[in-house]
């Protein structure tokens, strides 16, 4: 069954999380950048596809996508007008599509699983078209993060060439904390000038990674992307849902401190 239902015309009356961003701006320190994270446009489609769209509202998916992208363009312009200079689109769908089991499930629903990622990339680009100058946009890909669990597995190979070469963003936050994420070889498709943030430090468990092991993994990634285009981060958020993951506050702080220390020593 569809995870949501589109039963009326798509539009926004005010920026998504506009009030939350205004609060964040009010508490960030001098010299810091307030970053807003919102769901990617593809997330409205992935958990249901055509079955989630009332045909009385949108007769076909092209009409749905046109309206959704237009609404997102309003969002981008609106949040930029509030002073946002750093916007991130969270997109689990582009990561899930690397998993053959996920693609088989979509195909069983009659969806074009082999080309779905290409449509998503086109629509995200349409949503970002004409974005204000000075607005940095990144995307974050992961394979599920509910209460320290996961949903999909598989490296980035299936989507890599279209994603890295075609998505009009400034950088990619990529889950890379365990074997489910595959190797770094797909990063060979990342063009010059785009940043890749390696999510090497897991948010799913409290065990602290070995700093030297993290440095070795960064060196390995640098075989495919120049070191100056790389960065390091946690694999995902510590609380993708209200339930949170299986870490204490102190354990989360220790993970963040490790990320900072590693970055300072490598870059």
Give the CATH number for residue 63: 3.20.20.210
> Whole-angstrom Cα distance, residue 258 to residue 249?
14
Find, among 131, 140, 139, the residue nearest to 78 by Cα. Answer: 131
Looking at residue 148, what is its pLDDT? 47
> Is the Cβ–Cβ distance between 140 and 90 less than 8 Å?
yes
Q: Evaluate whether residue 137 is within a structural domain.
A: yes
Neighbours of 5 (CB within 10 A): 12
> Is the Cβ–Cβ distance between 177 and 214 less than 8 Å?
no
Looking at residue 150, what is its pLDDT? 52
Residue with token string 């009356």: 13
Q: Evaluate whether residue 223 is within a structural domain.
A: yes
Looking at residue 96, what is its pLDDT? 86
Angle between helices 249-266 and 211-221 in degrees, nearest 10? 50
Q: Evaluate whether residue 2 is within a structural domain.
A: no
The number of distinct structural domains making up the chain is 1
Q: Evaluate whether residue 13 is within a structural domain.
A: no
Looking at residue 244, what is its pLDDT? 61
Q: Please give the biggest Cα pair distance in the chain.
A: 58
Find, among 89, 92, 66, the residue nearest to 11 by Cα. Answer: 66
Looking at residue 181, what is its pLDDT? 75
Looking at residue 70, what is its pLDDT? 96
* Number of residues in the chain: 267
Angle between helices 61-81 and 18-27 in degrees, nearest 10? 30
Q: Using CA of residue 221, residue 223, residue 224, residue 229, what is the dihedral sign?
A: positive
Looking at residue 180, what is its pLDDT? 72
Looking at residue 109, what is its pLDDT? 84
Q: Evaluate whether residue 6 is within a structural domain.
A: no
Q: Which residues of the chain have pLDDT under 50?
A: 147-148
> Whole-angstrom Cα distance, residue 208 to residue 204?
11
Q: Evaluate whether residue 246 is within a structural domain.
A: yes
pTM of this structure: 0.90
> Whole-angstrom Cα distance, residue 65 to residue 42?
9
Looking at residue 69, what is its pLDDT? 96
Residue-number span of the structural domain to which 96 is assigned: 34-266
Q: Evaluate whether residue 158 is within a structural domain.
A: yes
Q: Evaluate whether residue 40 is within a structural domain.
A: yes
Torsion of CA 197, 198, 200, 202, to 10 degrees: 50
In the sheet that holds 136-141, the strands lie side by side as 36-39, 86-90, 136-141, 171-175, 195-201, 230-234
């Amino acid at each position: 069954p569809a995870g949501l239902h589109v039963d009326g015309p798509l539009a926004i009356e005010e920026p998504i999380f506009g009030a939350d961003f205004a609060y964040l701006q009010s508490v960030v320190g001098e010299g810091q950048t307030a970053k807003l994270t919102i769901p990617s446009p593809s997330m409205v489609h992935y958990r249901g596809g055509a079955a989630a769209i009332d045909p009385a509202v949108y007769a076909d998916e092209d009409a749905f996508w046109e309206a959704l992208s237009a609404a997102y363009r309003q969002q981008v312009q609106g949040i930029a007008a509030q002073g946002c200079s750093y916007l991130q689109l969270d997109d689990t769908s582009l990561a899930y599509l690397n998993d053959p089991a996920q693609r088989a499930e979509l195909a069983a629903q009659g969806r074009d699983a082999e080309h779905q990622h290409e449509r998503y990339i086109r629509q995200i680009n349409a949503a970002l078209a004409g974005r204000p100058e000075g607005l940095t946009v990144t995307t974050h890909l992961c394979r599920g993060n509910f209460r320290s669990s996961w949903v999909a597995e598989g490296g980035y190979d299936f989507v890599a060439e279209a994603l890295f070469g075609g998505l009009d963003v400034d950088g990619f936050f990529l889950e890379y904390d365990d074997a489910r994420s595959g190797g770094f070889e797909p990063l060979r498709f990342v063009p010059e000038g785009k940043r890749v943030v390696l999510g090497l430090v897991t948010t799913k468990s409290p065990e602290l990674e070995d700093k030297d092991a993290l440095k070795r993994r960064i060196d390995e990634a640098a075989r495919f992307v120049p070191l100056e285009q790389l960065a390091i981060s946690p694999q995902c958020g510590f609380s993708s849902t209200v339930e949170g993951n299986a870490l204490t506050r102190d354990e989360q702080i220790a993970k963040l401190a490790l990320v900072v220390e590693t970055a300072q020593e490598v870059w």
